[in-house]
Amino acid sequence: MKRKKLVAGNWKMNLEINEAIHLANDIKAARGSFNCDVLLIPSFLFIADVKHIVYATGIHLGAQNCSIYENGAYTGEVSAKQLKGAGVEYIIIGHSERREHFGENHNVLRQKLEIALKYGLKPIFCCGEPLDVREAGKQKEYVLKQLQESLFGLTAKDFANITIAYEPIWAIGTGLNATPEQAQEMHAFIRKELADKHPIALQMRIIYGGSCNPANINELFGCPDVDGSLVGGSSLRSKDFIAITAAAK
Ligand code: PEP
């Protein structure tokens, strides 16, 4: 089954406004070379500027988080509805940094998935095991539990709007990427488990994240079940990010 690759840049809490504008413009200038879907995921603060830059270019816009609440007295929160209204299309849910630093458990993630889907945002649901779990050979059980807890109750229509990001925690920001064999094994496993629930999962994109760079991306993109990449560090350097998009055929 042919799935168009997605290369997504998660800028996290990096960059100043002028740097974000510069980076978005550099990526926009390269758009003629893209053979994949390209997604920029800036800080909330830069969404309006980046939207203005990528408007009508085919480059997609995402956000890194949303509130579990609809609206109201929740100081500091940003709602899914507000994001949709601001032109955001994709939303990261379940990133390991939010699970770890902000205590987001499966109840919270489930609420975020539901509210994001309700307002027409496309979740990028992140899953992946820590190092001790990988060393114990229990990565499949660990990831399956993450999928079961947050995704298994959703409908086929919901699945059609979700992208999965397999991100082994030991590979995020460490320079240690999964080997193509490790990535392929986990992506095929995730796809099978989801397809047993809803066959539409055969069409879902399962992207890989964890220290992707121009030197390791060709091998990873050569895996039949790797449908793109969620890129952290390398997405902050336009040359590297554009090189990663070039590897996606
Ligand atoms: C991420 O945080 O989603 C990520 C993949 O980061 P990095 O590419 O820096 O490992």
User: Are 129 and 169 a contacting pair, CB within 8 Å?
Assistant: yes
- Locate the ligand 1 atom nearest the alpha carbon of residue 177 and give its number: 10
- Choose the catalytic residue: 95, 104, 129, 187: 95
- Choose the catalytic residue: 97, 167, 187, 198: 167
CATH of domain 6-246: 3.20.20.70
Beta strands in the chain (DSSP E): 6-10, 37-41, 60-63, 90-93, 122-127, 163-166, 206-209, 228-231
Give the N- to C-terminal CA distance of the chain in Å, as an integer.
14
Task: Tell me the per-residue pLDDT of 41-77, one tens digit each, with 9 for 90 and over.
Answer: 999 999 999 999 999 999 999 999 999 999 999 999 9
pTM comes to 0.97
Looking at residue 111, its pLDDT comes to 97
Active site residue 106: no
Ligand 1 centroid – CA 167 distance (Å): 8
Give CA 128 to chain center in angstroms.
12
Rounded distance between C-alpha atoms, residue 246 and residue 30, angstroms: 10
Ligand 1 centroid – CA 73 distance (Å): 32
Q: How many CA atoms lie within 13 A of 157 on its CB side?
A: 5
Active site residue 219: no
**Test site for ligand 1: of 177, 211, 235, 237, most ligand atoms within 8 A of the Cβ:** 211
Residues 6+ apart with CB under 8 A from 172: 96, 97, 128, 209, 210, 211, 232
Ligand 1 centroid – CA 186 distance (Å): 17
Looking at residue 1, its pLDDT comes to 64
Could you tell me if the CB of 128 is within 6 A of ligand 1? no
State the greatest distance between any 2 C-alpha atoms of the chain, in Å, as a whole number: 48
Looking at residue 70, its pLDDT comes to 96
Task: Tell me the per-residue pLDDT of 145-185, one tens digit each, with 9 for 90 and over.
Answer: 999 999 999 999 999 999 999 999 999 999 888 999 999 99
| Residue ranges per structural domain of the chain | 6-246
Could you tell me if the CB of 210 is within 6 A of ligand 1? yes
